[in-house]
Amino acid sequence: MLPTEVLEKSSQALLDFQGKGFGIAEVSHRGKEFEGVLDEAITRCKRLLGLGDTHDVLFMQGGATQLFTLVPMNFLHTSADYMVGGEWSKKATAGAKELGKFNIVASSEATNFDHSPPPSEWKLSKDVDYFHVCSNETVHGHRLPQWPSHPNLIVDASSEFMSRPHPVKDCALVYAGSQKNLGPAGVVLVVVRKDMYPKQKKTPSKLWSFKDEAENKSMLNTPPTFGIYILLETFRWLESKGGLDAMEKINATKAGLLYGAIDESNGFYKGTVSVKEQRSHMNVTYRLPSEELTDEFIKTAAKNDMVALKGYRTVGGIRASIYNAMPVEGCKALSQFMRDFASKKS
């Protein structure tokens, strides 16, 4: 979901950009209107993330899934380390499999990804090309409380980007599909540390080279202009709300409301994450005592205008995704609904 303010401003710009009589999706990507949008989006994105000149901001396509392949295509020479804490970080290794050697430093697959293996269990290699992690496992509802430090850390932050401050300035590369917190599907926000460019391999097409994309300001071909415009509106919105520190506080309040309803339900709701400190502030996942009750919960919630609560197709149960745009009131309403439902059914 996206903030209403972002949607309203974007729809206005789609009809009439700054009173010019034409919409932002109708202009040339090489014209001064879009150039202004791109420059402001890059400036605001860097400011939100506290980045200086060490990193580039790119707007790419192909979804976060394409990055699973582009990362090894560009940087995997000898070997890379991957941490596998859930379906998405496992899928990231599938991209590397095609392209070279890698080592899984730890995996929680044996316990159905009910947590993220803690740093004490990671078997990191020496001198790898990079270390890849997924900072928030969308399907299983856990996150890395702190992003690890590593000389060449690469982070898939798709489902939590800009929901809290992130140490992006210490990372080699961070990527996020837009469709959770930033904008519409079709844009992938990529932040690359410039000292990674000399380490790149030659890619089959320049379109897949981070360095070439950066040198061409993400315009090797026509970029998804309207999608990027929506990201700009989201960055403006985030700054107007007080930036990522403020988002972190709001998101902690929202998540606290739902985890409170789970923890105080005398076991009626069971959180799926076994390590409490790792509970995601974006995807709250839990189960009810039976499939029947789960179905009834989803249907009754929908009647009360609370939708999209069905857990991911491979795991079932309930998943409440409470991205940045979800207001505190939404979480209050769901937590009250959870309490009422539990007291009626237990």
Q: Are 174 and 154 in contact (CB under 8 A)?
A: yes
Q: Tell me if 213 contacts ligand PMP by CB under 6 A.
A: no
Residue 288 Cβ, how far from ligand PMP at the closest point, in Å?
Answer: 23
When the beta carbons of 12 and 66 are compared against ligand PMP, the nearer one is 66
Q: Which stretch binds ligand PMP (CB under 6 A): 73-81, 155-163, 259-267, 292-300?
A: 155-163
Spell out the alpha helix ranges (H) of the chain.
4-15, 32-49, 63-75, 87-97, 210-215, 225-240, 243-263, 291-303, 328-345
Q: Tell me if 177 contacts ligand PMP by CB under 6 A.
A: yes
Q: Tell me if 69 contacts ligand PMP by CB under 6 A.
A: no
DSSP type of residue 21: S
Q: Tell me if 321 contacts ligand PMP by CB under 6 A.
A: no
Among the options 9, 46, 180, 254, which is catalytic?
180
Q: Tell me if 27 contacts ligand PMP by CB under 6 A.
A: no
Sign of the dihedral through C-alpha 270, 274, 277, 278: negative
Q: Are 74 and 209 in contact (CB under 8 A)?
A: yes
Q: Which residue is nearest to ligand PMP (CB)?
A: 63
| Cα 147 from Cα 119, distance rounded (Å) | 10
Distance of CA 198 to the CA centre of its chain: 27
Q: Tell me if 285 contacts ligand PMP by CB under 6 A.
A: no
- Neighbour order of strands in the sheet with 80-84: 55-60, 188-193, 173-177, 153-156, 131-134, 80-84, 102-107
Q: Which stretch binds ligand PMP (CB under 6 A): 43-51, 61-69, 253-261, 274-282?
A: 61-69
| 191 sits in which H/E element | strand 188-193
CA distances 342 to 187, 273, 301, Å, are: 40, 20, 13
When the beta carbons of 88 and 259 are compared against ligand PMP, the nearer one is 88
Among the options 56, 114, 129, 156, which is catalytic?
156
When the beta carbons of 136 and 152 are compared against ligand PMP, the nearer one is 136
Sign of the dihedral through C-alpha 112, 116, 119, 125: positive
Among the options 46, 56, 88, 211, which is catalytic?
88
DSSP type of residue 308: -
**Active site (annotated) includes residue 180:** yes
Among 34, 75, 88, 226, binds ligand PMP (CB under 6 A): 88
**Active site (annotated) includes residue 88:** yes
Among 23, 63, 184, 289, binds ligand PMP (CB under 6 A): 63
Q: Which stretch binds ligand PMP (CB under 6 A): 122-130, 153-161, 226-234, 294-302?
A: 153-161
Residue 3 Cβ, how far from ligand PMP at the closest point, in Å?
Answer: 20
Q: Which residues bind ligand PMP (CB under 6 A)?
A: 63-65, 88, 134, 138, 156, 158-159, 177
Residues designated as active site? 88, 156, 180
